[in-house]
Amino acid sequence: MENVKVAIWGFGAMGSGMAKMLLTKKGVDIIGVCDMHPARAGKSIFQVLGVERGDREDVIIKANIDEVLTEKCCDICLCATDSFTKNAFPKLKSVLEKKINVISTAEEMSYPQAKNPELAAELNRVAKENGVTILGTGINPGLIMDLLVVCLTGCMTEVTHVEAKRVNSLSPFGPAVMEEQGVGMKIEDFNAGVKDGSLAGHVGFIESVNMIADSMGWKVDKFEQQMAPIVTTVDRKSPYGFAAAGDVAGVNMTGQGYVDGEVKIDMIHPQQIEPEMEGTFTGDYITIKGIPEVNMSIKPEVDGGLGTIAMCVNMIPHVINANPGLKTMIDLPVPRAIMGDFRNFIDR
């Protein structure tokens, strides 16, 4: 049986991390990589990753996707290029039209019907027309604040309220994340950034809320979210971030999904550098009210970077095996670590 063939579009932290993970696995080959960043395009992935090539064929990073993908040239393309469906859409569509399955890391793509129902319908149509499948996933959205919640409701006869809380540290992240999340900003600048939309914060609440609600048959009739600065009272320093006392150490995101006029889904996601310095300990917490109640915690929180890399790679067989169309995590079998030969996970 032939190895599973994977292409990767976008070779930043996520795309290159997936490549590194794939190189440790059996029965799967990376057949092409696209990234237009001048520091990477034209180089061997082994050189960029700092991994021994061994007896593997070399893979040169191309700046142009047309040099990487031709019709049915591989089983799946991992697209790690965007956060928003609107921006990812033309790329995703072009891959589907080459009759290649897709996994997207774009946070909004975890449940694109929430914000872009027309684009979601179009991706579903194009995927079906070409006999392939597209899925958006990651650690969050994708697992921690949505799929895991859904899975835990499975043991309940009745659900009245869901609270998902992810308290994580931004300390391991680089300068781009520091900037996006407002680390080190003055409070006024942070608030201005929220107002003009230049501060991203966490992307994914509306997707998680709708995934949870739809999975159970609840209808979200209103969604709201808030972004507040986490102001530190002490100086905090991480490898790529610094927040002086009185400035912003991170962002506290909160979101609410209303069902029948009531808040039935609460999302709470404070992220900051060095949370322990002021007594905040990281973790993932799910509290579901109903019958029976479920109170789950994961301490410390699941590492976001590794978690996203793993989710995307581990979902490859499920996506290849699925019926054609746009899928979300609630449509497919549960994710699982692929420890054996990838080929054994593929239905032939």
**What is the smallest separation between the CB atom of 345 and a second copy, expressed in angstroms?**
7
Q: Is 332 near a second copy (CB under 8 A)?
A: yes
At CA 301, angle to CA 157 and CA 303, rounded to 5?
120
Closest CA to 85 of 172, 254, 203, 184: 203
Q: List Cα–Cα distances, 32 to 73, 94, 309, in angstroms.
A: 9, 16, 18
CB of 82 to a second copy, least distance (A): 21
Element (H, E) at 249: strand 248-259
# of chain residues touching a second copy (CB under 8 A): 57
CA distance 103 to 322: 12
Binding of a second copy by 216 (CB under 8 A): yes
Question: Under the criterion CB under 8 A, does residue 294 sit at the interface with a second copy?
Answer: yes
Using CB under 8 A, pick the residue from 311, 316, 320, 326 that binds a second copy.
311
Does the footprint of a second copy cover residue 170 (CB under 8 A)? no
- Helix axes of 117-129 and 85-97: crossing angle, nearest 10 degrees: 10
**Which residue, 83, 93, 95, is CA-closest to 32?**
95
Instruction: State which residue, 198 or 281, has the beta carbon closest to a second copy.
Output: 281
Q: Is 147 in the site for a second copy (CB under 8 A)?
A: yes
Kindly state the smallest distance separating residue 290's Cβ from a second copy, in Å.
Answer: 7
Q: Which residues are within 8 A (CB) of 122 and not within 5 positions of it... i.e. 6 or more apart?
A: 89, 93
In the bound state with a second copy, the residue whose beta carbon lies nearer, of 72 and 219, is 219
Residue 159 one-letter amino acid: V
Instruction: State the DSSP H helix or E strand holding residue 23, giving kind and residue range, or none if neither.
Output: helix 13-23
Which of these ranges, 63-71, 128-136, 223-231, 340-348, lies near a second copy under the rule CB under 8 A?
A: 340-348
Contact of 140 with 205, CB cutoff 8 Å: no
Please tell me the total number of residues recorded for the chain in this structure. Answer: 348
Name which of 68 and 311 has its Cβ closer to a second copy: 311
Q: Residue 172 interacts with a second copy (CB under 8 A)?
A: no
Exactly one of 13, 21, 63, 346 binds a second copy (CB under 8 A); which one?
A: 21
Does residue 303 bind a second copy (CB under 8 A)? yes
226 binds a second copy (CB under 8 A): no
150 part of the interface to a second copy, by CB under 8 A: yes
Q: Using CB under 8 A, which of 155, 188, 196, 348 touches a second copy?
A: 155
Min CB(333)–a second copy separation in Å: 6
Of residues 86 and 336, the one with the C-beta less far from a second copy: 336
Measured distance CA(248)–CA(104) in Å, rounded: 31
CA Rg value for the chain:
20
CA dist 137 → 253, 308, 311 (Å): 20, 8, 7
CA distance 251 to 152: 28
Which of 236, 259, 258, 232 minimizes the C-alpha distance to 246? Answer: 232
Binding residue (CB under 8 A) for a second copy from 36, 49, 307, 346: 307
Binding to a second copy by residue 103, rule CB under 8 A? no
Q: Is 227 in the site for a second copy (CB under 8 A)?
A: no
Sign of CA dihedral 188, 191, 195, 201: positive
Q: For residue 309, state whether it binds a second copy (rule: CB under 8 A).
A: yes
Binding of residue 299 to a second copy (CB under 8 A): yes
Binding site for a second copy (CB under 8 A): 21, 24, 139, 143-144, 147-148, 150-159, 215-219, 290-292, 294-300, 302-303, 306-307, 309-311, 313-315, 329-341, 344-345
